[in-house]
Structure 1
Amino acid sequence: MGFKLVFLFSCLVAAVSAQTYRVCVSTAVSSSTCQSISRDDSQVTCQRVESRVDCALKLAAGQADLGYFSEEETLLLSQQQPNDNRVLATVRDESKLDPYAFETVAVVPANHTRGLDGLSGGVYCHPGLDESDLRWSPRVLKNLEQLAARTDRCPEANTAGKTAEELEVETLSKYFSSGCRPGAWSNNVTVDADLKSRYPSLCSRCGPDSGCSRYTIDMGVSIANVRNENRHIQALECLRTNANASSAVAYVAWQHVVEYFTIRNPQDSPSFAVLCPNGTLASLTTAVLSNTISPCAFIRQPWGAIVANTNNAAALLTSLKTWWPAGSSPATGWQSTLFSVVTGGSSSARVVFQDSPISLLNYTSAIRTISNIDSTASCMPARRWCTISTLEQTKCNWVRVSAHTLGVQPSIACQQRNSVLECLNDIKDDRADFISAPSNYGYLARQHYKLTPVKLVQNSPDDASRVAAFVKESAVISSNVTRYENLRGKNACFPESGGLAYMSFVRVGQERGVLSSSECDYAAAVGEFFGGACAPGAIDASHALSESSSFNSSVLCSSCRTSVNINGNNSTCAWDYTNMYFGNNGTLACLNDPNNDVAFLNTRSMATHLTSLGLQATQFRALCRNNSLAATTGISIDDNCLLAYVVDAEIVTRRNDPQYNSLNTLLDSLDTYFGYNAASGNQLINLEIFSPFNENKNLLFKDSTIGLTEASLSSSHEPARNYIELFRHLQACTGTAPPIAGLANRSFYSIVTLLTMAIMTRFVIY
């Protein structure tokens, strides 16, 4: 029996020592790095993740064991996963091993009175909203002004047509007499420029020719170990030179206060004090300035942390202490590679271990807390994001709390529906505010649901939507179908009624003069031109192409066929896969029907669809937008032959919504903080809004999205400009442009534009 116990104990020890831990690494980490981590006697392997938020989800699900999270991410996780995982250590810098990543303080003249209220009418010196040195979030950057000027409380403000940034700056300009608040006031460049032109007092202390983008004040001589170009040092100099004003304040990091008053201007320290949140003053004595911790702070920031899933936390803490006994890189071996991957590759990184694993909530709450999103005051109403699945709702909630953690305004609310069309209807009826909808719904969103784009997505060239027209080679030979005029009376195939391909034909038909440019009923325009068609959904109320049309749209379903023959009747107009000819694959099947002649469809995956249908590319020839046939048969055509080269999605909201501008700038902020504008590893919160989420694709945005752009012909993104151009005629018919004060749906401008377009069409060269 004794031998058996010894044997079992030995097996148990061996099993424990053989434990393999999965460390989260980004998809950008090379395979060779992961191989180095797993070399020799390593107990660690790579677990690739799309983002650090994905890592948190995998830790909680037991699919990963270890990961690093930034300062702001620890605050996010304390809200989203307060007790799911455990903090093992913090990651600091060898030059700054203080208890906090930073402390924000308000420095005022030593004779300041009346606490925060005493700042009213004074000079405001700020390091800048674009200051990235200490990784301050918008919430941190604006904390003092929110507490002093109450920029989050504006009960009497008229928010219609305004942005959160405008209300904020308007309040600040009334509270402070002057100041320097450099950097971007809005992530929308147009709004930013407008605000700075209207509220110049908040730029007046930045110095000559600053453009409110930086300080240009005279900083005097350079002092060793103090950088004159540091924005916090410049803000303190702004305070010093304006100390004789009725009141003045610099909102800066404590570490730079110490630098400024101990190295650069020690003689001035008796003239200034730290203003505490409770209104008291703390003099800048030698003892105070020699302390790495401020006497009082508005915000103290927790360090970024190494976090483990709860089950393996204790064992991992022991292992990490063994692998990195000094809290630094051991210089060689897999342990060194692991250290570099976990801590971000900085040679000055230092790991400070916890005595024992601690929950995220307990770790952050002792240092800094974020107010509950549902009880936080705001001038702007939350924008309601419509989601269409449980997975989307989950991702939306993470985006919502991430944005709240950073202090992005307005806030976001997430509400789930069952489909894109349900969301479009809810937005129309003011039960939701926006959704990123596939561009295939562009016509329905505008015509049927009375919506308008607030942003368009940007796609890489390979991911943009390409629409083309293909005719049977047999029709080219037997019926001489070589131009759009030759299609009159023929049978056509579309993936869906009112979809992108349908709209592309309407636009080209108007250009070529085969469809009337004065006709706003697109069902009648297409139905009267072709002898028959399959445009799935044409007779469904949700796809109505005109509210007042008397046209019998059934002709647009005459070529459709059901996948299930019921009682000898195989006709259908369903806009799902019970209709054999629904969607791109179905459109090719429709074209293969001997009775049909031409198909309009997205060229994506066309070769795959042909193979699945047993068809050959040589059976078809493209009919180009310029009214010529492609030189050869096949589906490989250049972009000049396309009917449309456009974005694959757009973000839509209600026409004339008074919060349109607020939503527009919110989306710019989401793009800035969670899009590809920020380097993946350097985001304050590494949540990739355009990427897969927890290995699930196309949630909130298609994975093909690389950014957002204005819904304007002036967009720098060609597919976006093309998409707006595609709907210009519809916009002229219905007035679906973004909100313009006083512009009715069928405005005089729209009518004139429609007539002008009709006249211009006559001069198109065929």
Structure 2
Amino acid sequence: MEYSIVILVLLSLCVESVWLQGVGSGDDGNLRVCVVEGRGLYKRAGRFCPILDAENSGVECVLGTDRLDCLRRMSKGTVDFGVFSPEDLVAAQWADIDVLVTNELRNRPGKFERSIVAVVNRRILPEGRSTVSDILRNTTLCHPGQSKDDMRGLSDTLAEYLENLVTVPSCNETMSLTENRIKAMSEFFNKACKGGPWLPDAMRDAELKSKYSNLCAACHSRSCSSIDQYYGGSGALSCLAEGAGDVTWPLLHEVQAYFGLHPDTTAFGNPADFAYLCRDGSWQPLSDNPEPCLWLNRPWPVVVAKRKAAESVSHLAASLTNSSVTVDAHWRGALAALLEINQALTEPLSPQMNPLDYLSGARGFREAYSRSGCSPPRHITLCTTSILEKNKCEWLSEAGSVYGVAPPLQCSMRPSKRDCFRDVESGGSDVVMADSDWLVAAQRDYAVAPFLHETTPIVDQTSTVVAYVKKDSKLTKISDLRGKRAVFPRYDGLAWHAVAKHLSESKCDSVLTEFFSDICAPGIEKAKNISANVVEKLTKNCNMDGSNVLDGEIEALRSLVEGKADVAFISLSSFKLYSSKF
């Protein structure tokens, strides 16, 4: 009888495990976790994902390019859960994604990961009650600084919350939004130390720091750089404690550590000389104040799941808190490593909460990400040519809004790239993304200029133009191609201009259309001011779909394989992608 009871209990546990992990979007109802791969030594997927598969864990890996990509995949239903930052929840809220927060990932006790306070030198405090703006006007700010590092503790939005709250917005139409914000800060504070890069462009960054030099005047070296003694959270506290500034905007735990407010810690400043400034203009002492007035709380990282899988994910994440998981070489340990929660306590939420309700419990956080801008609002319009492109653009717009990118991005859609270039030329849009085949034509015909390009260190992923011939052709060098039949992916594209430039600069010293006996150049039929005879000559041997000339790299390869051409000029990456099709 005892054996029967044991067997029944084991069967019951197995059924529960299958039920918990059987509502996912993967094979056989497996839960799909979206993993953002780390860099260098922090790469985890190749090591741990196979363990999930080998041990029938009920969990499958899906690699996302970043956390917002994981959110997008959740919205499309192709993944079930992942780990996200509170900023990502803002994006989920704005995009109206139906997900639930199931677990918090805490690495120490405390309701929030970070709490932010305002600390002032008591010398600037008035005798009576006043507003925060009146107290801080014409004082010196010790700013924690800005950084290009997306792993830092505070986003620019949170780091700039205090100044945005007290300054009067500047909306000068002749200035960029960034300069308007800096100008408003410069006019409100007498001096400041705002170290680190204000802009990614080093030249423009130096110009603004020179123009608004009072915002660097309180720095230790006046260089306003990220290596300044007063840069960062502890640097800003040093700026305050050493008398260089009057107010700073630090993390609460940094204040408590710096001023020795924790037991067995060394004080680097006298807490009696400083006070917490509250949002209503009142103030509180630093010492003997375990719960000071807070301005902002930043929540912990969280596990987020699709609504259908939320209960299963909550149980699964909670099971990873077992102390043995941190050293477990089996699938639970692998999953904990993939989610980077080995050292975290996964606190389950009961009940699970939607992002809006979860963030509402963090003082000031949603408000910081809901600030209004200038009126009329400014924006950059990106022209797209398909529903997929427009969806990606809208996701990029959401991401930019969350992380404080200004001006915000808007998305338009036109039937073709050519229409997009016309729209940019006429001022209807500002930006269009296109492949390198458009580079010459866009600058020549539509008065646009390139300002950003994608690059990769991996050669076979670049648009390197290569001449492909059949193995038995006995063609071994460019000069052997004289009088041969050539096919290009499109007229006026990267391959066309690369070959034309090579011929004009090489010993061949020949015009492209004279060097080859026959040329297929799709797209010339749409070009401006091209005679019918030339169009006929450069399209007569191209692949056709009815009356339409087919273009593209795969069509160029097909022409070579089918014997319509002796050489095809396409990119190295395209050959690797399409060669298996022939």
Tell me the TM-score range normalised by the shorter chain: 0.7 to 0.9
1:449-496 Cα offsets, whole Å, 9 max, x none, are 22210112113222222224568999999xx99378x55xx7643321
Identity of aligned pairs, percent? 22
Alignment of 1:563-642 (within 5 A): 563=544, 574-576=548-550, 583-588=555-560, 592-593=563-564, 600-606=569-575
Q: 2:461 aligns with which of 435, 460, 463?
A: 463
User: Does structure 1 residue 208 correspond to structure 2 residue 218?
Assistant: no
Distance in 2, matches of 1:108 and 1:260, equals 14
Distance in 2, matches of 1:512 and 1:78, equals 58
Alignment of 1:37-186 (within 5 A): 37=52, 44-50=58-64, 51-60=66-75, 63-81=78-96, 84-94=98-108, 97-110=109-122, 111-113=124-126, 114-130=131-147, 135-150=153-168, 153-159=169-175, 163-186=176-199
Partner of 2:340: 344
Partner of 1:270: 272
Partner of 1:252: 250
Alignment of 1:609-758 (within 5 A): none
The Cα of 1:363 is off from its aligned counterpart by 0.5
Distance change (3 Å), C-alpha of 1:17 and 1:191: same
Distance in 1, matches of 2:402 and 2:486, equals 52
- 2:82 match: secondary structure: strand
Partner of 1:358: 353
User: Does structure 1 residue 397 correspond to structure 2 residue 411?
Assistant: no
Distance change (3 Å), C-alpha of 1:231 and 1:442: closer
Partner of 2:524: 538
1:269-299 Cα offsets, whole Å, 9 max, x none, are 3332233334x122225342x23xx4131x2
Distance in 2, matches of 1:170 and 1:432, equals 28
- 1:273 match: secondary structure: strand
Distance change (3 Å), C-alpha of 1:604 and 1:36: closer
Check whether the contact 2:539–2:549 (CA below 8 A) recurs between aligned residues: no
Q: State TM-score, norm by structure 1.
A: 0.62
The gaps in structure 2 that reach 5 residues or longer are 1-9, 22-29, 38-42
Partner of 2:497: 503
Partner of 1:560: 541
Check whether the contact 2:119–2:247 (CA below 8 A) recurs between aligned residues: yes
1:710-738 Cα offsets, whole Å, 9 max, x none, are xxxxxxxxxxxxxxxxxxxxxxxxxxxxx
Check whether the contact 1:494–1:534 (CA below 8 A) recurs between aligned residues: yes
Distance change (3 Å), C-alpha of 1:67 and 1:533: closer
Partner of 1:33: 48
Report the RMSD for the aligned CA atoms in angstroms: 4.1
The Cα of 1:448 is off from its aligned counterpart by 2.2
Residues 253-262 or 445-454, more deviating: 253-262
Distance in 1, matches of 2:81 and 2:446, equals 47
1:556-599 Cα offsets, whole Å, 9 max, x none, are 426434546x8xxxxx6x4426x9x9842255258x34xx6665
- 1:295 match: secondary structure: coil
Check whether the contact 1:533–1:555 (CA below 8 A) recurs between aligned residues: no
- 1:386 match: secondary structure: strand
Alignment of 1:448-527 (within 5 A): 448-459=445-456, 460-469=458-467, 482=479, 492-512=486-506, 527=513
Distance change (3 Å), C-alpha of 1:104 and 1:373: closer
Check whether the contact 1:155–1:379 (CA below 8 A) recurs between aligned residues: no
Distance in 2, matches of 1:319 and 1:334, equals 15
The residue type paired with residue 142 of structure 2 is: C
Check whether the contact 2:103–2:303 (CA below 8 A) recurs between aligned residues: yes
Check whether the contact 2:86–2:301 (CA below 8 A) recurs between aligned residues: yes
Partner of 1:234: 235
1:497-536 Cα offsets, whole Å, 9 max, x none, are 11112111332243248779xxxxxxxx755776653222
The residue type paired with residue 493 of structure 2 is: G
The Cα of 1:179 is off from its aligned counterpart by 1.9
The residue type paired with residue 137 of structure 1 is: S
Check whether the contact 1:126–1:235 (CA below 8 A) recurs between aligned residues: yes
Distance in 2, matches of 1:339 and 1:534, equals 53
Distance in 1, matches of 2:467 and 2:439, equals 19
The Cα of 1:165 is off from its aligned counterpart by 3.3
The Cα of 1:357 is off from its aligned counterpart by 1.4
Check whether the contact 1:75–1:370 (CA below 8 A) recurs between aligned residues: no
The Cα of 1:29 is off from its aligned counterpart by 3.1
Partner of 1:721: none
Q: 1:383 aligns with which of 377, 380, 384?
A: 380
Distance in 2, matches of 1:398 and 1:194, equals 32
The Cα of 1:99 is off from its aligned counterpart by 1.6
The residue type paired with residue 124 of structure 1 is: L
1:428-462 Cα offsets, whole Å, 9 max, x none, are 22222212211011122122222210112113222
Check whether the contact 1:468–1:602 (CA below 8 A) recurs between aligned residues: yes
Check whether the contact 1:59–1:309 (CA below 8 A) recurs between aligned residues: yes
Distance in 1, matches of 2:243 and 2:435, equals 54
The residue type paired with residue 557 of structure 1 is: L
Partner of 1:720: none
Check whether the contact 2:369–2:402 (CA below 8 A) recurs between aligned residues: no
